[in-house]
Amino acid sequence: MTAEQIDGKAFALTLREKVGTIAAEFERKAGRKAGLAVVLVGDDPASQVYVRSKGKATLAANMASFEHRLPDDVSGGALLALVEQLNQDPAVDGILVQLPLPAQLDEQQVISAISPDKDVDGFHVINAGRLAVGQDGFVPCTPLGCMMLLTSRLGDLSGLEAVVIGRSNIVGKPMAQLLLDANATVTIAHSRTKDLPAVVRRADVVVAAVGRAEMVKADWLKPGATVIDVGINRVPSNEAGKTRLVGDVDFAGASDVAGAITPVPGGVGPMTIAVLLRNTLVAAHRNAGIDLAKDAV
């Protein structure tokens, strides 16, 4: 079997275009653009790249982008004061504080300071709670993007066996909640799971969010399974001194067994920013009291 590749790049592009169209309508209705504020502390090169591409994507989707850069040694008080200023700013619908933060800052305290109604990353405990009890809130972008890819491929997930590998607050746990909401039978596997290959072999749907290069092997998969690979791992390439990105799944081997699989890069990765824009659009409509159909984006 040669698995179908799930093209996250193309899906994300379509989503971004849809968001851009609705954001232009929002501007006409609200008399202002939807706005996303991104806070970057310090000069971590990877974070700088993420923040730059988020800013560009926000502008391209007809939204306003507000970038705030703070020095590496900023105090907790100064960062919290900025978050509070953004909470109060009516031009800002979504607030994202780029993680990781330098060691002197308490990430949980900073996330808790963001208004839950502007927490477009979905990391605030209020939004984690809303997801757990099935209320409207904000769902973390990466698992929501995975869910969109899954439903586009499989439609109804009712009764399917789903195994999520990894239990982080930003990927594994919310992913499991979303699959449960979609009526899948969900198992969360993690570093202490016994006989992981046997657990994964039960799954119609596998979501790998571990951070270990090519850990999930072809013979762990049930033939025809749908595989979503969240992992982003940099490994040495064949060319001396160069690196390349691989996922948590052995893509070449798995492609012979799976029914469908996301590549790395070009699978889940591009979905994250697209969903961030989507969440910001939803926040803008809620904040402005303008209706947005549930299935609009």
The residues that touch ligand NAD, with contacts defined as CB under 6 A, are 142, 165-168, 170-172, 189-191, 193, 196, 209-212, 230-233, 268-269, 272
User: Does residue 54 have an active-site annotation?
Assistant: yes
Of 188, 181, 182, the closest CA to residue 134 belongs to 181
The residue annotated as part of the active site, out of 33, 98, 177, 222, is: 98
User: Does residue 229 have an active-site annotation?
Assistant: no
User: Does residue 9 have an active-site annotation?
Assistant: no
Residue nearest to ligand NAD (CB): 168
DSSP conformational letter for 124: S
| 112 within 8 A of 196, measured Cβ to Cβ | no
Q: Considering the complex, what minimum distance in angstroms separates the CB of residue 24 from ligand NAD?
A: 26
**Which helix (H) or strand (E) covers residue 115, if one does?**
none
**Which helix (H) or strand (E) covers residue 197, if one does?**
helix 196-201
Helix axes 8-30, 141-154, angle to 10 degrees: 110
Specify the length of the chain in residues: 297
| Burial grade of 6 (CB within 10 A; 0-12, 13-18, 19 or more) | buried
The residue annotated as part of the active site, out of 93, 119, 121, 250, is: 121
Buried b / exposed e along 92-107 (16+ C-beta atoms within 10 A): bbbbbbbeebeeebee
Six token digits for residue 226: 């749908």
| 164 within 8 A of 176, measured Cβ to Cβ | yes
Catalytic (active-site) positions: 54, 98, 121
